[in-house]
């Protein structure tokens, strides 16, 4: 069997997430169909992470395997072939042959996500699919203070939407958590060795409340130390979230 590594970008608005779903079309399903059309071989595609419904990717990484006898198309020609079989909201950016043993999820050691918020009374209609909306200004300085509390190696159970579903430790190393303003857009960028279920959107929801003056950095510290999910930590809407980069 030969292993191929894909780098993909997609607009997740109209999909039920990355992972195959019994109800709704998933990005994984669309990609598998395209590969099967090109290779005329049934495949299973494994992604670096399972982005939720409505979440986007600038550089999702995935892998699949095909028998050597089927791998007759030059790697240099595969990107065009796959994109010709994909809808326009899913694009293959790069195709590579991967080493034996490579796994898009388990070989990854770092991921970066970005969460985007449009601040303004009237939502920009051209950003509505790719940004959350907050009708007023946000205190970015306060959000940065709270982000410093969260950065580092901690038990992030309080920022998992369902800590009980985690099969292993809820401890993660949040290497970087930054907040920036670009005009009416506020972006939250998070880099870690891994993320819990809906962790990035929970962090974004908490920081948004800090920026709105509803929570403080001290509150965030207490939530973190408690290791318990609280209703005060809300999961931010999916449309503002992008998977930006995966490192191996």
pTM given for the model = 0.93
Three-point CA angle 246, 177, 11, nearest 5°: 45
Q: Measured between alpha carbons, how far is 202 from 2 in angstroms, rounded to an integer?
A: 38
Q: What pLDDT does 21 receive? A: 87
Is the separation of the CB atoms in 58 and 9 below 8 Å?
Answer: yes
Q: What pLDDT does 165 receive? A: 62
Q: Measured between alpha carbons, how far is 143 from 170 in angstroms, rounded to an integer?
A: 23
Active-site position among 11, 14, 52, 89: 52
DSSP reduced 3-state for 179: strand
Q: What pLDDT does 68 receive? A: 86
Instruction: Render each residue's pLDDT in the chain as its tens digit; 248 residues.
Output: 899 999 999 999 999 999 998 889 999 999 999 999 999 999 999 999 999 999 999 999 999 999 988 888 899 999 999 999 999 999 999 999 999 999 999 999 999 999 999 999 999 999 999 999 999 999 999 999 999 999 999 999 999 987 566 567 899 999 999 999 999 999 999 999 999 999 999 999 999 999 999 999 999 999 999 998 988 999 999 999 999 999 99
Is the separation of the CB atoms in 11 and 88 below 8 Å?
Answer: no
Is the separation of the CB atoms in 216 and 210 below 8 Å?
Answer: yes
Beta strand segments in the chain, E: 2-10, 46-47, 56-66, 90-98, 110-119, 132-134, 152-155, 171-182, 185-192, 241-247
Q: What pLDDT does 107 receive? A: 96
Tokens, residue 246:
């995966």
Within 8 A by CB and 6+ apart from 205, the residues are 233, 234, 235, 236
Structural domains in the chain plus CATH codes: 2-98 (3.30.70.580), 110-247 (3.30.70.660)
DSSP reduced 3-state for 137: coil
Q: 52 catalytic, yes or no?
A: yes
Q: What pLDDT does 22 receive? A: 87
Q: What pLDDT does 109 receive? A: 96
């Amino acid at each position: 069997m030969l292993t191929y590594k894909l780098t993909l970008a997609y607009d997740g608005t109209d999909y039920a997430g990355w992972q195959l779903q019994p109800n709704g079309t998933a990005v994984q399903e669309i990609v598998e169909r395209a590969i099967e059309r090109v290779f005329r071989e049934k495949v299973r595609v494994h992604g670096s992470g399972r982005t939720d419904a409505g979440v986007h990717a600038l550089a999702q990484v995935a892998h699949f395997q095909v028998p050597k006898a089927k791998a007759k198309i030059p790697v240099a020609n595969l990107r065009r072939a796959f994109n010709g079989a994909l809808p326009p909201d899913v694009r293959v950016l790069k195709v590579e042959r991967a080493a034996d043993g490579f796994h898009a999820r388990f070989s990854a050691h770092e991921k970066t996500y970005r969460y985007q918020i449009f601040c303004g009374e009237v939502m920009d209609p051209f950003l509505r699919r790719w940004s959350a909306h907050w009708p007023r200004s946000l205190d970015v300085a306060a959000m940065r203070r709270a982000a410093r509390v969260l950065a580092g190696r901690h038990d992030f159970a309080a920022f998992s939407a369902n800590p009980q579903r985690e099969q292993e430790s809820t401890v993660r190393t949040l290497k970087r958590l930054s907040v920036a303003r670009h005009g009416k857009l506020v972006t939250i960028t998070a880099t870690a060795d891994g993320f819990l279920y809906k962790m990035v959107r929970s962090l974004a929801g908490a920081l948004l409340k800090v920026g709105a003056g509803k929570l403080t950095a001290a509150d965030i510290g207490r939530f973190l130390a408690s290791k318990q999910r609280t209703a005060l930590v809300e999961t931010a809407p999916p449309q503002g979230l992008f998977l930006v980069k995966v490192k191996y």
